[in-house]
Amino acid sequence: MTGGGESLPNMLPVVLVPVGTDDMALDACLAALDAATPPATRVWLVDDAQAGPRGVDIVQRWLQRTPLQADYTRRPHAAGEVAHLDEALRACGDADVAVLAGDALPAPGWLTQLAACFARDASIASATPWCNTGESAGWPRVDPQPPPQELAALSRAAAALPPTHPELPAAVEHAVLLRGSARVKAGGLDTASYASWYAALTDLSLRLSGLGWRNALCETAFVARLHEGAP
């Protein structure tokens, strides 16, 4: 607390990271998250009984050294990707939450830029950054590309773009900031109809759009990913 106001990390959204089975991808994701995110940002790793012993060890070692305000929870038995994510999002109440894929590599400034996107336009319910495998949010092309080598330089270039935040057909799962009040109004994720986060996020985006909210591209932010998402 400084000068009677909140510090930047406390004003930033919560970051929610679903932990997967790929240990190497998880290790790279956590290292990139440390490097690209302001210290003391709230991060919650949610494990739907997916990580093996090595993955759990990676998480525990990361928790001991990360500058972020991080927590880790693990279910004893898998509930399913969508049900588990919906449970975690509901636990966050109406807070804004950035869901980051467990194999994503966020570029510096990614979360600050996503938060600024929300601040510019109160009608935006989901903000998606550029990605090398993001399809409708893909850069430099919509077909999958290898992760860029110079994430810091790319983030500076993205941050210099005019923040017009054009409409997307739906949010994309590599990284998405969800406005908590809009998500609550839309009823959260449809856990009865969808098994994958990819499909459930598309459905949520359509319902948000139907309620008058916008699904926008945050062209001032970039988050790389090792693999293409799929339903």
Could you say which DSSP state residue 160 is in?
T
**Is a pLDDT exceeding 60 seen at residue 201?**
yes
Contact 218, 170 (CB under 8 A): no
Neighbours of 162 (CB within 10 A): 7
- Can you give the pLDDT at residue 138? 78
**Is a pLDDT exceeding 70 seen at residue 165?**
yes
Q: Which of 148-157, 160-169, 192-201 has the lowest mean pLDDT?
A: 148-157
For the segment 180-201, the average pLDDT, to the nearest whole number, is 96
Contact 114, 221 (CB under 8 A): yes
- Can you give the pLDDT at residue 10? 58
**Is a pLDDT exceeding 70 seen at residue 5?**
no
